[in-house]
């Protein structure tokens, strides 16, 4: 009767050869047999059911194992006590073993599948001796060899990387020993202390003399050296939230105005106050006289501060230094001149105009396109950038520009008495002539729709949402090219600062009182002027003698004024203003109607141009006003910003195209400012004011830089948006090359001699 392999012990009755099969619990028995045998061969075989043996009389004691499920792959151990094999049994099983051996593989244990009948053939072949042990040892040996080869390859790669890192850092290690001896040892250890340290300071692998942008800018960006204006706004917002700011009342009114039930009533009253009753105007609406346009533009400027068609200011007389004069200047627009040059670049403005007009009931696509066309044309005829920096223009009496008299009278009201003899300074006569032509060629309805659109964009934070249309605030952000998710807090902050310039100056000073006091105490403006004057007096460089002479003449007539008028640090205001009496939009109109900036401009001690939140300098014929937003923890960035402002004025008539062989036109002034700002920084060190220097907080990557090297890292942070600009401008600086020990063959060094200054 056929029995299972798990319950049967099979013995071949031939001489002394015994074949024993067992499984499961029989493993212990196999181990005992192995210890008793003189020579054993152990093979791993899958479970199988061998054919029955004819003679079972000589079967030894049966070793029974628990039978597993037939579907499971099992393993049986073959124990073979090496004795002489009977030739007759070999003959009987030879044919079966040949067929089995043709399908067997001895390369891996899993492939060594042998039948019971082929066993004698294998036991008779000497190549089968210790086959499994040999294969196992070979595989183990191969695994060890492969592992050792892999480790050796990794070690080689790490050694090559280590060598490259040391060579790339050589330009850094050398100057540190010279300029900062007390940290030289630390730097040397840091550069050679292993891979872990270099992973924490990845930019050490970039040599500054090869790519200073790659060396400095990633770390500068990671440590928050971003827009200083945004940082100042955040500081002001922090004080506003805590209720400790002079801007807090108007800012709070702006934040809560859209929730007031009378918000739309206030807006309709404002439309009436600025002569825009019935706005917006459809194509079939009754015509308006041209005087209505001037009247609306004047009230819009006086009550909301929006110069939509033209702007007015009180300036120093260009011909009489002791006199003041009313100046007519180009407007502040939402579209700049470069965008106005192409229709497709102002599509965002058309979409915003359509959204605003649609929210107020005018669904005429042509009306939005006409509105955009007006502002686009205004942008094309404006040249405000050149006007800001040059006391050019023409002085006319009011009788010569009678068409502008009504506008000037409505804006100034009782501030200035306007008569036929009143002088008006046309800062850009070409713009004035083009503006009058534009008004003649454009229907009054289109011009009034444009003025109403500018009004809505200005006061949008005070208005609730219009059901079923785009949010008016979102449309105004689109019109100003601001993110649609722009924080309402920041929008209200800018509005409050524009309406109350004195309060904005006081609040800004309070955000960093100690820093401002220290900068003012070291006469930063005097040091800036002295550093630039020394550069202009030294011969050599790209500027010829005539350019330097004209720049020196302008510099000696111009006074840099930093951050605030004198009364702000002293804690006294020339004129105390009464608290606001209105709420919501009415409070904003009340604050603007006081025309604080215009009134301050006639008081020498209180005169200040621009806002502390400006990202640019302002200038009149005698002074250059550096805004408080330039101030930050980095003296390098403050120095280069102030130097660029001053050099822009002094070099205004120097064609940048003269230096195309060295710099792009927009980079000439920045290239000149690098050395000036470094001289200014060095003057602060010599005067013992280097405590103002606040190095970038990066104790791992830049902890070992010397002060001079730190200066150029911060300087690069101001120009990181242009990788080519950073390397080009600093590569031409002799001070930079000395600080980092750059050589003539380094990649950052320009091939041509392009030093702006002689040294």
Q: How would DSSP label each residue in 633-657?
A: S-HHHHHHHHHHHHHHHHTTTS-GG
Mean pLDDT, range 293-297, rounded to an integer: 93
260-283 burial string, b = 16+ CB within 10 Å, else e?
Answer: beebeebbeebbebbbbeebbbee
Residue ending a domain, among 463, 486, 509, is 486
pLDDT of res. 202: 36
Most confident of 57-71, 136-150, 636-650: 636-650
Domain boundary among 486, 517, 541: 486
Indicate the pairing of strand 559-562 with strand 311-316. Answer: unpaired
589 phi, psi to nearest 5 deg: -65, -40
Residue 605 pLDDT greater than 50, yes or no: yes
pLDDT at residue number 217: 78
pLDDT tens-digit readout, 491-522: 889 889 988 888 888 899 988 888 888 887 88
Considering the domain boundaries, does residue 741 fall inside one?
no
* pLDDT tens digits, 627-668: 988 887 677 788 888 888 888 888 887 776 667 677 776 777
203 vs 752, higher pLDDT: 752
Reported pTM: 0.66
Residue 33 falls inside a structural domain: yes
Give me the residue label for tokens 């510099």.
Answer: 555
Asked whether residue 341 is assigned to any structural domain, the reply reads yes
- Is 74 part of any domain? yes
Q: Which two tokens stand for residue 563?
A: 């951050």
Q: What pLDDT, on a 0 to 100 scale, did the predictor assign at position 472?
A: 63
What's the pLDDT score for residue 299? 93
Q: What is the pLDDT of residues 18-51, one digit of tens each?
A: 444 444 444 444 444 444 443 333 343 343 344 4
Tokens of 415: 């501030």
Tokens of 301: 């400027």
Encoded tokens for 395 = 């002085």
Across the range 694-700, mean pLDDT stands at: 43
Task: Give the distance between the most distant pair of CA atoms in the chain.
Answer: 144
Lookup result for tokens 């200014």: 680
Helix (H) or strand (E) holding 80: strand 75-80
Instruction: Look at residue 742 and tell me if it is in a domain.
Output: no
Residues whose CB falls within 8 Å of the CB of residue 445, separated by 6 or more in sequence, listed in order: 281, 283, 285, 287, 288
pLDDT tens, 354-377?
888 888 888 888 999 999 999 999
Share of the chain above pLDDT 70, in %: 64
Report pLDDT for 177: 32
Q: Crossing angle, helix 263-273 and helix 290-304, to 10 degrees?
A: 130
- Residue 374 has a pLDDT of 92
Considering the domain boundaries, does residue 460 fall inside one?
A: yes
pLDDT per position as a tens digit, 411-441: 888 777 888 888 888 888 888 899 999 999 9
The domain that contains 321 carries what CATH number?
1.10.1380.10
562 Cβ contact partners less than 8 Å away, ≥ 6 residues apart: 519, 520, 524, 525, 626, 642
Residue 107 lies in a domain: yes
Name which of 560, 557, 565, 562 is nearest 529 in CA terms.
560
Stretch 86-93: mean pLDDT, rounded?
43
Chain mean pLDDT for the chain: 71
Given this model, what pLDDT does residue 294 score?
A: 93
Q: If pLDDT is split at 50, 70 and 90, which confidence band does 349 have?
A: confident
Q: Mean pLDDT highest for which of 269-278, 400-409, 551-560? A: 269-278
Burial class of residue 50, CB neighbours in 10 A (0-12, 13-18, 19+): middle
Q: What is the pLDDT of residues 443-469, one digit of tens each?
A: 999 999 999 999 998 888 888 876 555
Higher per-residue confidence, 474 vs 594: 594
- The pLDDT value recorded for residue 44 is 39
Tally the domains of the chain.
2
Domain boundary residue, one of 62, 97, 129? 129
The pLDDT of residue 388 is above 70: no
* pLDDT(120) > 90: no
- Cα 756 off chain centre by: 30
Answer yes or no: is pLDDT of 713 > 90: no
E strand map for 347-487: 394-397, 423-426
pLDDT confidence tier of residue 69, bands split at 50, 70 and 90: very low
Six-digit token string for 418: 């306007």
Structural domain harbouring 440: 279-486
Comparison of pLDDT for 143 and 383, the residue scoring more: 143
Contact 344, 334 (CB under 8 A): no
- Residue 687 pLDDT greater than 90, yes or no: no
Tell me the pLDDT tens digit for each residue of 180-221.
333 332 323 332 333 333 333 334 567 788 888 778 777 655
Residue 167 lies in a domain: no
How many CB atoms neighbour CB 715 within 10 A? Answer: 28
């Amino acid at each position: 009767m056929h029995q299972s392999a798990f319950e049967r012990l099979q013995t071949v009755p031939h001489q002394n050869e015994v074949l024993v099969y067992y499984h499961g619990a029989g493993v212990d028995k196999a181990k005992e047999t192995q210890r008793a045998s003189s020579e054993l061969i152990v093979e791993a075989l899958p479970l199988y059911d061998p054919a029955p043996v004819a003679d079972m009389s000589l079967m030894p004691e049966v070793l029974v194992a628990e039978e597993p499920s037939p579907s499971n792959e099992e393993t049986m151990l073959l124990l073979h006590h090496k004795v002489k094999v009977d030739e007759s049994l070999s003959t009987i099983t030879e044919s079966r073993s040949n067929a089995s051996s043709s399908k067997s593989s001895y390369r891996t244990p899993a492939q060594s599948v042998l039948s019971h009948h082929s066993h004698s053939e294998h036991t008779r072949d000497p190549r089968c001796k210790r086959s499994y042990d040999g294969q196992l040892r070979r595989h183990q040996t191969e695994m060890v060899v492969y592992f050792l080869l892999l480790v050796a390859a990794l070690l080689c790669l790490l050694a090559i990387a280590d060598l490259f890192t040391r060579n790339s850092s050589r330009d850094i290690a050398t100057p540190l020993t010279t300029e900062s001896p007390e940290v030289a040892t630390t730097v040397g250890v840091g550069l050679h202390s292993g891979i872990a340290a270099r992973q924490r300071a990845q930019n050490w692998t970039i040599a500054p003399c090869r790519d200073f942008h790659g060396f400095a800018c990633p770390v500068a960006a990671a440590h928050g050296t971003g827009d200083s204006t945004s940082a100042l706004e955040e500081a002001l917002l922090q004080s506003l939230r805590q209720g400790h700011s002079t801007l807090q009342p108007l800012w709070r009114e702006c934040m809560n105005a859209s929730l007031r039930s009378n918000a739309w009533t206030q807006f309709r009253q404002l439309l009436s106050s600025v002569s825009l009753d019935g706005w917006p105007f459809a194509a079939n609406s009754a015509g308006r006289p041209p005087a209505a346009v001037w009247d609306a533009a004047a009230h819009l400027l006086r009550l909301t501060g929006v110069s939509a068609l033209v702007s007015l200011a009180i300036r120093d007389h260009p011909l009489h230094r002791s006199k003041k004069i009313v100046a007519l200047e180009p407007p502040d627009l939402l579209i700049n001149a470069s965008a106005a040059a192409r229709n497709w670049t102002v599509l965002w403005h058309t979409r915003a105009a359509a959204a605003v007009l649609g929210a107020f009931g005018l669904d005429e696509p042509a009306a939005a396109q006409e509105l955009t066309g007006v502002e686009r044309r205004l942008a094309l005829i404006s040249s405000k950038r050149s006007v800001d920096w040059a006391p050019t223009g023409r002085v006319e009496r009011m009788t010569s520009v009678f068409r502008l008299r009504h506008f000037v009278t409505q804006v100034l009201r009782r501030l200035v008495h306007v008569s036929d003899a009143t002088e008006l300074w046309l800062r850009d006569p070409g713009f004035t002539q083009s503006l009058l032509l534009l008004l003649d060629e454009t229907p009054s309805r289109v011009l009034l729709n444009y003025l109403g659109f500018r009004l809505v964009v200005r006061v949008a934070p005070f208005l609730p949402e219009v059901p079923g249309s785009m949010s008016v605030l979102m449309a105004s952000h689109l019109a100003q090219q601001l993110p649609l998710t722009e924080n309402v807090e920041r929008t209200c902050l800018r509005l409050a600062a524009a309406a109350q310039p004195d309060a904005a100056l006081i609040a800004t000073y309070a955000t960093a009182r100690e820093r401002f006091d220290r900068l003012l105490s070291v006469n930063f403006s005097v040091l800036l002027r002295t550093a630039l004057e020394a550069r202009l007096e030294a011969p050599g460089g790209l500027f010829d003698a005539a350019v330097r002479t004209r720049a020196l003449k302008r510099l000696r007539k111009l006074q840099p004024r930093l951050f605030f008028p004198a009364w702000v640090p002293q804690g006294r205001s020339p004129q105390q203003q009464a608290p606001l009496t209105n709420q919501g939009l009415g409070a904003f109109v009340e604050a603007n109607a006081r025309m604080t900036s215009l009134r301050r401009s006639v008081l020498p001690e209180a005169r200040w141009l621009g806002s502390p939140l400006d990202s640019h300098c302002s200038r009149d014929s005698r002074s250059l006003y550096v805004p408080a937003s330039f101030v930050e923890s980095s003296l390098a960035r403050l120095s280069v910003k102030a130097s660029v402002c001053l050099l822009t004025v002094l070099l205004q008539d120097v064609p940048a195209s003269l230096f195309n062989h060295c710099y792009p036109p927009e980079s000439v002034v920045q290239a000149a400012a690098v050395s000036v700002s470094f001289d200014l920084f060095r003057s602060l060190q010599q005067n013992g004011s280097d405590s103002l220097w606040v190095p970038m907080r990066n104790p791992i990557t830049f902890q070992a830089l010397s002060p001079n090297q730190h200066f150029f890292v911060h300087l690069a942070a101001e120009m990181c948006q242009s990788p080519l600009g950073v390397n080009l401008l600093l590569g031409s600086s002799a001070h930079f090359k000395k600080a980092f020990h750059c050589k003539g063959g380094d990649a950052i060094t320009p091939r041509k001699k392009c030093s702006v200054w002689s040294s």
